[in-house]
Chain A
Amino acid sequence: MSKIEINQLSKKFIKRDKFIEALQDITLSIQPGEFVCLLGPSGCGKTTLLRILANLEKPSSGEVMIHQKDKEKPLQSMVFQENGIIPWLTVEENVAFGLKMRHLPSAYIKERTEYYLYKVGLTNFKRLYPKELSGGMKQRVSIARAFANDPEILLMDEPFAALDEQNKFILQEELLSIWQETKKTVLFITHSIDEALLLSDRILLMSSQPGRIVKDINIEMERSRSIEKVRSDSAMTDIFLDVWEHLQNEVKQARL
Chain B
Amino acid sequence: MRKKVTIPQLITISSPICLLLLWEFCSQFEILDPRFFPAPSLIIQTLMQMGETGELFTHVTVSLTRIVFGFLLGVIPAICIGLLMGMYRYFRHFFSPIIMIFMPIPTLAMLPIILILFGIGEFSKMITIAISVFFPVAINTAAGVANIDKIYVDVAKNYQANAKDFFFKIALPGSLPVMLEGIQMGQAIALLTIVAAEMIGANSGIGYLIWMNYKAFLLPQMYVGLLLISFFGYFFSLLLRGIERKLLLWK
Contact = CB atoms under 8 A, between A and B. Distances in A.
B160 A84 contact: no
Contacts of A35: none
Contacts of A129: 249-250
Contacts of A85: 155
B157 A98 contact: no
A145 B155 CA distance: 11
A157 B64 CA distance: 54
A88 interface: yes
B159 A98 contact: yes
Contact of B152 (A55, A86, A100): A86
Contact of A130 (B154, B158, B250): B250
A86 B155 contact: yes
Nearest to A132: B250
Closest 3 CB pairs of A and B: A129-B250, A98-B159, A88-B173
A88 B155 contact: no
Given A83-B151, A84-B151, A86-B170, A131 B250 contact: yes
A130 B154 CA distance: 18
A74 B151 CA distance: 20
A131 B226 CA distance: 42
8 contacts: A54-B158, A56-B154, A77-B159, A101-B156, A101-B162, A129-B249, A129-B250, A131-B250
Contacts of B151: 80, 83-84
A78 interface: yes
Contact of B155 (A55, A84, A100, A130): A84
Contacts of A56: 154, 157-158
A236 B4 CA distance: 64
Interface of A: 54-56, 74, 76-78, 80, 83-89, 97-98, 100-102, 129-131, 145, 149
B140 to A, nearest CB: 17
A110 B170 CA distance: 21
A83 B174 CA distance: 14
B246 interface: no
Interface residues of B, number: 21
* Secondary structure call for the B interface: helix
Nearest to B174: A88
A131 B251 CA distance: 7
Interface string B142-172: 0000000101101111111110010001100
Nearest to A82: B151
B251 A77 contact: no
B165 to A, nearest CB: 6
Contact of A101 (B149, B165, B173, B249): B165
Contacts of B249: 129
Contact of B159 (A83, A88, A97, A131): A97
B119 to A, nearest CB: 43
A74 B161 CA distance: 12
B230 to A, nearest CB: 35
Nearest to B153: A56
B177 to A, nearest CB: 9
A101 B149 CA distance: 19
Contact of A83 (B149, B165, B250): B149
A76 B162 CA distance: 16
Given A98-B159, A98-B160, A101-B162, 14 more contacts: A56-B154, A77-B158, A78-B155, A78-B158, A80-B151, A80-B154, A80-B155, A83-B151, A86-B152, A86-B170, A100-B165, A101-B156, A130-B250, A149-B159
A148 to B, nearest CB: 10
Contacts of A130: 250
